[in-house]
Structure 1
Amino acid sequence: MTESPRSAEMDEAETPGRLRGLPSRLLAMTAARADRVVSERLAAEGARKWHYAVLVSLDEHGPASQAGLSRRTGVYRSDLVAVINELEERGHVARTPDPDDRRRNVVSLTPRGREHLERLDRLVADAQNELMDPLSVAERALLVGLLERVLSS
């Protein structure tokens, strides 16, 4: 069953009370909004969320095999190849044979990629601020902690 255009713009005041208070519904709607806001910001720089995830992983953990990047970022290996190809074409990553196993590649962040990541970090931070604007700093920290607890259970 697909959503009608009207349901995507549903007035919360008209939403049945039993639906309005469902944490699962609120999480899903918040996640969809967050994904949209972050994706729009990244697109302004010609990037996608998987580009950002790969660049962040390389920056924080250093060079990695494609399989390692897939595990760290949650990007399927088949999709990751396309992401790495795009990042490599733009000069943001370099792919070189692994000296320990020449059958696989090691992906590393380039200086140009690090500069690009710094721009993306600012955009993602701006998106986070926009999303969390209604909350105080303490409320933001509490929300993050609560979400981490829910995800880890």
Structure 2
Amino acid sequence: MSSGASDMTHHVDGKATPARLRGVPTRLLAMVAAHADRVVTEGLAREEARKWHYAVLVTLEELGPASQAELSRRTGIYRSDVVAVINELAGRGLVERAPDPADRRRNVITLTPEGRDTLRRLDALLAELQDEVLAPLTGAERDRLIELLTRLADHHARSHGRDA
């Protein structure tokens, strides 16, 4: 291999990757997203949690009690799946489900003190996991990455009629 060829490739997992592939942003996003997803999923599993658990707990803490339908919209969890997530959280005493006084046909989900404690632990864990995934970036680069990814997410959510 000539020195010019080696300048045009980078190594991923010990394998040479053509420069043209390394220049395809959507491919790079997918690769990094898959790695980040694996790191976060495995990290949360060590705490007997899942990403959807975290999303529901954060949503309830930041936006207050909500119906199951509202939680589905706010978190992006399918309505058919949000019930199972709430059942799991309620079974662990992290949320409470009670009839809505304004409409007894629907339930209102509320974060419990145990849920807040669990959320604090998960926040700390996720901070560690973010540091692991974003290790090669400086603080300013991380902020810029968040800004760019948010802009992309917002754009695509608007073009598909959803909130990011």
TM-score, normalised via structure 1 length: 0.90
Partner secondary structure for residue 47 of structure 2? coil
- Larger-gyration structure (1/2): 2
Indicate yes or no: 2:50 matched with 1:74: no
Q: Name the amino acid aligned to 2:28.
A: L
Determine which structure has greater relative contact order: mean sequence separation of CA pairs < 8 Å that are 6+ residues apart, divided by chain length. Answer: 1
Equivalent-residue separation in structure 1 for 2:108 and 2:117 (angstroms): 20
Counting aligned pairs with the same residue, the percent is 65
Aligned residues: 144
Equivalent-residue separation in structure 1 for 2:66 and 2:109 (angstroms): 5
Q: Which position in structure 2 is the counterpart of 1:43?
A: 45
Q: Deviations over 1:85-112 (max 9, x none)?
A: 0000000000000000000000000001
Q: More strand by proportion, 1 or 2?
A: 2
* 1:4-153 aligned within 5 A: 11=13, 13-153=15-155
TM-score, normalised via structure 2 length: 0.84
Q: Which position in structure 1 is the counterpart of 2:162?
A: none
Equivalent-residue separation in structure 1 for 2:120 and 2:106 (angstroms): 28
Instruction: Report how far residue 23 of structure 1 moved.
Output: 0.2
Q: Deviations over 1:34-85 (max 9, x none)?
A: 1111111111110000000000000000100000000000000111110000
Structure 2 residue ranges without an equivalent (≥5): 1-11, 156-164
Equivalent-residue separation in structure 2 for 1:134 and 1:33 (angstroms): 14
